[in-house]
């Protein structure tokens, strides 16, 4: 346990696995009170136990970011438990890649719902208390992707959602940074070893992805949580706005 974030309160969405889980552990290890959100309640409960056993403070709030009332309840429970909100890690996301000509329109819809609307619902629910708590402002961490800088075959709609997240990050910076002390960082990971690819139903793309990465080394979730931690532990005058982090083995 260290104390760079002692007294701060953080919400982490998508904390039941991968980058979100690693981010929750990293923030808690720096002394933040961490509220972990996702749909899989058992995973969240196990994570809270782990964090508490290591001397940290955490609260599990099962949440579906595609439902506005669920996200509002998440923020309400956070404020009831800890009285303030300093950091939002807007991380929940899905990536059911497919070629456009296969018209997996339902998967396109789900990506838009989770990766864009979910991110916006979380911002809408968190921003009022960040703006109201006077002086301290708040920190929004949006997990976009290297795909938010360039599309790739099979990743067009996913990439579009991550371009949107980057635009949202840049717009928040323009509107809320200097005036309201709301800092925002866009985290743009390359390929990370997590469960994200488990939900790809287009077998051509799933096979292509696994073949391409069979002999290469992906990032670990903790490599990305280190980048998140770097951004949110800077002094108030420092606004880290964008971090692109790729595996050394990844060219584009
Ligand atoms: N892995 C990579 O290569 C990579 C690269 C660049 C960017 N990213 C981004 O990193 C973020 C985290 O992904 P990951 O790689 O850590 O994958 P992951 O292990 O699959 O984690 C995704 C998380 O999102 C949650 N989630 C999905 N739908 C949700 C919903 N409707 N409501 C609430 N939570 C939901 C999942 O929890 P539940 O299923 O329990 O709800 C899970 O905790 C995503 O935004 C992803 O796009 C990943």
114 C-alpha vs ligand 1 centroid, how far in Å?
A: 9
Tens-digit pLDDT profile for residues 153-190: 999 999 999 999 999 999 999 999 999 999 999 999 99
pLDDT confidence of residue 19: 99
| 38 C-beta closer than 6 A to ligand 1 | yes
Tokens (6 digits) for 155: 């990743």
CA distance 64 to 144: 19
Q: 205-219, pLDDT tens digit by residue?
A: 999 999 999 999 999
Q: What is the pLDDT of residues 104-124, one digit of tens each?
A: 999 999 999 999 999 999 999
Say if ligand 1 is within 6 A of residue 189 CB: yes
What is the pLDDT at residue 2? Answer: 78
Residue 19 near ligand 1, beta carbon < 6 Å: yes
Question: Structure tokens of 129?
Answer: 């208390």
Phi-psi bin for 100: left (phi > 0), alpha (psi -120 to 50), beta?
alpha
User: DSSP readout, 88-151?
Assistant: EEE---------GGG--HHHHHHHIIIIIIIHHHHHHHHHHHHHHT-SS-EEEEEE--GGGT--
The answer to whether 158 is a known catalytic residue is: yes
- Calculate how far, in angstroms, residue 178's C-alpha sits from the geometric centre of ligand 1: 30
User: Does the pTM exceed 0.95?
Assistant: yes
Mean pLDDT, residues 39-52 taken together: 98
Q: Strand 87-90's sheet: what is its strand order?
A: 57-62, 33-38, 9-13, 87-90, 138-143, 182-189, 242-245
Distance set, CA 166 to CA 62, 142, 204, 238 (Å)? 26, 8, 28, 19
- Ligand 1 atom with the shortest distance to the CA of 19: 16
Name the 3-class secondary structure at 173: helix
Q: How far apart are CA 246 and CA 126, in angstroms?
A: 29
User: pLDDT at residue 47 above 90?
Assistant: yes
Residue 35 has which token pair? Answer: 């509220």
- Beta strands of 41-86 (E only): which ranges? 57-62
Quote the ligand 1 centre to 28 CA distance (angstroms).
19
Q: What is the pLDDT of residue 105?
A: 98
3-state secondary structure of 33: strand
Q: Whose CA is nearest to atom 19 of ligand 1?
A: 18
CATH of domain 9-245: 3.40.50.720
Q: What is the mean pLDDT of residues 216-244?
A: 98
- Closest atom of ligand 1 to 114 CA is 31
Coil/strand/helix, residue 61: strand
For residue 221, the ligand 1 atom closest to its alpha carbon is 16
The span from the CA of 242 to the CA of 29, in Å, is 23
């Amino acid at each position: 346990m260290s104390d760079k974030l002692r007294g701060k309160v953080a919400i982490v969405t998508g904390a039941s696995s991968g980058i979100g889980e690693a981010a929750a552990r990293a923030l808690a290890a720096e002394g933040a009170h961490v509220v972990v959100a996702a749909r899989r309640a058992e995973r969240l409960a196990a994570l809270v136990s782990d964090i508490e056993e290591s001397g940290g403070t955490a609260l599990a709030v099962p949440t579906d970011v595609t439902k506005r009332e669920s996200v509002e309840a998440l923020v309400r429970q956070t404020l009831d438990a800890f009285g303030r909100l300093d950091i939002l890690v807007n991380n929940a996301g899905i990536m059911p890649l497919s070629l456009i000509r296969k018209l997996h329109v339902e998967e396109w819809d789900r990506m838009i719902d989770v990766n864009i609307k979910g991110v916006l619902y979380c911002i809408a629910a968190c921003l009022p208390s960040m703006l109201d708590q006077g002086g301290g402002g708040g920190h929004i961490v949006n997990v976009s992707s290297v795909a938010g800088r360039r599309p790739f075959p099979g990743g067009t709609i996913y990439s579009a959602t991550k371009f949107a997240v980057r635009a949202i990050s840049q717009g928040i910076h323009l509107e809320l940074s200097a005036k309201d002390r709301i800092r925002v960082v866009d985290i743009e990971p390359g390929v990370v070893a997590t469960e994200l690819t488990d939900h790809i139903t287009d077998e051509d793309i799933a096979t292509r992805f696994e073949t391409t990465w069979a002999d290469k080394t992906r990032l670990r979730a903790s490599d990305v949580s280190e980048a998140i931690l770097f951004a949110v532990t800077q002094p108030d005058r420092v606004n880290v706005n964008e971090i692109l982090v790729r595996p050394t083995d990844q060219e584009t």
